[in-house]
Each structure stands twice: as structure tokens, then as C-alpha cells.
Amino acid sequence: MKLWEKGIPVNKAIEDFTVGKDRELDLYLAPSDILGSMAHIIMLESVGLIDKNELPILIKKLKELYKNAVEGDFVIEDGVEDVHSQVEFLLTEELGDLGKKIHSGRSRNDQVLLDLKLFTRDAIKEIVESTSEFINVLIERSDETKSVLMPGYTHLQVAMPSSFGLWFGAYAESLTDDLELLLSAYKITNQNPLGSAAGYGSSFPLNRQMTTDLLGFNNMNYNVVYAQMGRGKVEKIVSFAVANLASTLSKLAYDVCLFMSQNFNFVSLPTEFTTGSSIMPHKKNPDVFELIRARCNKLQGIPNQISLVTNNLPSGYFRDLQMVKEVFLPSFKEMNDCLNIATLAIKNMTVNSEILEDSKYDFVFSVEEVNKLVLKGIPFREAYKQIGEQIEKGEFQPEKEVDHSHEGSIGNLCLDKILDKKETTLENFEFKKIELAIKQLLG
């Protein structure tokens, strides 16, 4: 079944090529498509395009289909082109001509726009929640290890004293900035395109504000041409925000792989979190972090893939946009899986509290010794020279202590401030408003 069929069968090879992976990928969108149809027909009834007594019949059936979709029992049958066609086919099969009324004032163009936005809203919410939990774990580990010193590096050369408190806390704060970018992407996503039809509006007296409110959108894409132009743009913006998050996680994963090597021996994972070698019985490999790194690097390539598909398209709809779904829809689960497994691994990681007892790290305290001389009144450049001479002569003997107290330093991690930043950002997502709207729609 195809919503656009006019009695002339399509060549099988052409059909297979043009449908592509839509049947498989549209299963991601099934719950969203059904919710959108519910809001749309409530609006159609309000403007007289569906009779008052017909609405409860359609709503009842759509609620049944929504339950099936959420539970994973919704199927797009062979011969049915996409999720939109399947929903209308099932309604028509059971309700006859009444099922055919749901498409009034819509096009598959604004249907898929709506489906993608509803799906993306939910997917961002899941990633935000996972990121928030990961930040909490990093903050906890930072507080636990705030007094455990480790070397800091520049150019991969021993530089200055750091601490595990700083290291864990750095990634916690980095992720709070990633949430800010996700918030911006979320706000752009959370605008209703429904009613733009094929991209040029409709002669029906549609009430777009009603569907905006019913689906919990913050506002709508007002211009119908721009609503259609948003296809691909929203996915690119969101994928950049996800890629930014993936970049943070990839950097963390690289650190862990480095720190777990015997040459560093800064951290370790429980044996059950590592893998072994088929010929080297001593091996305990950090495969989990290597795969986080690789998957997150792959996620960082998605914005570029979407850009290459969309960047030379004029305004209006083109079938090229179908290809965006193939890289975009599965990316959220992959990102979420990486966040969840990283949270589990970091929670169970052990840190080495005796790293700086090794004399090869003595020079990490050189700046501390320079600063001590400065505090005694010696000009900085003279103090720098004196300590430099001690190092060259092999006479440098540091006191392996640090006394940093300014905001964000070893002795003042400002973990409460980082958590405040996170909570403020989370509040701005206003997830509860959407949850209430969808609950009322389903109720």
C-alpha cells in the first residue's frame, strides 16, 4: 500500500531502491507517528473536518496502535511503504473510509518532519538523563579522590601536579557544557512543523496552535516553507550537539586507555571489566574504553555525513533526505550505550594513590618550588633560574605537597558549583511540560 498510488504498479526494482531501509528505520518513528495522528485528528474535529462522533472511534484505535508500537509489536508489512502508510492502512482495514480521513490537511512531508521531531525530543531526553547520571558519578569520584595527587602533562611531558579530583571533575564540568549545547539543539527541535503539509500550507482552516499545544511543543515553525527546510537542518544541529558530547567521552576514553597501561599505572578496572589475550596470559585489556573511543569517534562523523547529503539542496522536499535517517536515528542509542557503560566503568575504577612516590615525577613540583621562593620575596624570573639550576645539577629535592586554594584548583574543586550549573541547565529543558502534554493526549 502506498498513500500516493493511482492504480499503476511501480517497477519492483525501482520500489526496492526507493523504499530502501524505510520499513526498518520507520519502526523508530512509529510511536511518534501515532501520537502525531492523534493530535492531528483532534484538531481536524475542532475545525469540522471529522465528525464529533467519529473522533472517539479513531482515538481508541490509535491508542491501541500506540500501545503496540511502544511495546515493540508494531510491524510495517511487506508492500507497505512506510510507517505513515501502515498506520492509515490499519485504520482503514478496521474502520473503512473513516480511516482514510486522518490524512486531510497533511502530507507525508510534514508527517515525517513531526515524527522526527517527536522522536528526537525523546531521544535527547534519554541522553540528557544518562549524561546527568554520568556527571553525578564523576562528581562523586572527584570528591572521593580530591587528595590523591597525579602528574599533569603538557606535550605528554610531566608538567605540574594534578589530582584525580581535578581529572574526574574536569570531565564532569565538560559534560555540563555539552548539556548546554544539547539544550540549544533541543530548543530548535521542540517546534511544531505539523500543518506545513508538503511545505506550502493547506487550504483547510487548520489550527496549528492546537496541535502545538497538544504535543507539548514550545512553539511552532511558523513559516511553512521554513518548516520543510528544517528537514535535515534539525538533524544536523542535533547531531553536532551529540558529536560534541561524543568528543568529550572519546577524550576521557583515551585518557583511561593511556592511564591503564603499565607505563602509567594510574588507574585499573576490575578483572571482569577487562578482556584477555589468546596467547598472553597476563593481559587485561581496556577494550570497553577502546570501543567507547571508536564509537564516539564514529558519532563525530555523523554531522559531516548529514551535511554532505543536505548542503546543496534548494528549498522544498527531496528524496535525498531519506538517507539522513539511516545515520541519524540509530545514533542516539549508540551514544546512550557509550554513556551508560562509561558510567558503570568509572564507578568501578580504582585509582593509584602512590603515583608521585616514584622519583621520575619529582620535577612535577618544580613550579611549586619556584612559587615558594617568590612568596619569600625573590622575583619570579630569579626564582625560576635558581630552581632550573638545581634541576640541571641534579640537586632538585622537592617537598611533595601542594597548597592550591583558588576556585577550581586542587584544593578547591568547586564541585557544588559544577552541579549547580548542571541542574540549572536541566531545568531549562522543561521535560515535565512535554510529559504532561503527552499524558493528557493519551489520557
Residues with active-site annotation = 155, 277
| 48 dihedral zone (left: phi>0; alpha: psi -120 to 50; beta) | left
Place of cell 528549498: 315
- Give me 16's grid cell: 526496492
Is residue 304 classed as helix, strand or coil in its secondary structure? helix
Residue 163 contacts residue 145 (beta carbons within 8 Å):
yes
Phi, psi of 256, deg, nearest 5: -65, -45
Report the helix count and the strand count for the chain, using DSSP H and E. Answer: 17, 6
Place of cell 483532534: 42
276/294 Cα distance (integer angstroms)? 19
- Give me 173's grid cell: 564540568
Helix (H) or strand (E) holding 56: helix 55-70
Q: With DSSP H G I counted as helix, E B as strand and the rest as coil, what are the percentages for the chain, rounded to 5?
A: 65, 5, 30
Is residue 255 classed as helix, strand or coil in its secondary structure? helix
Give the type of residue at 256.
V
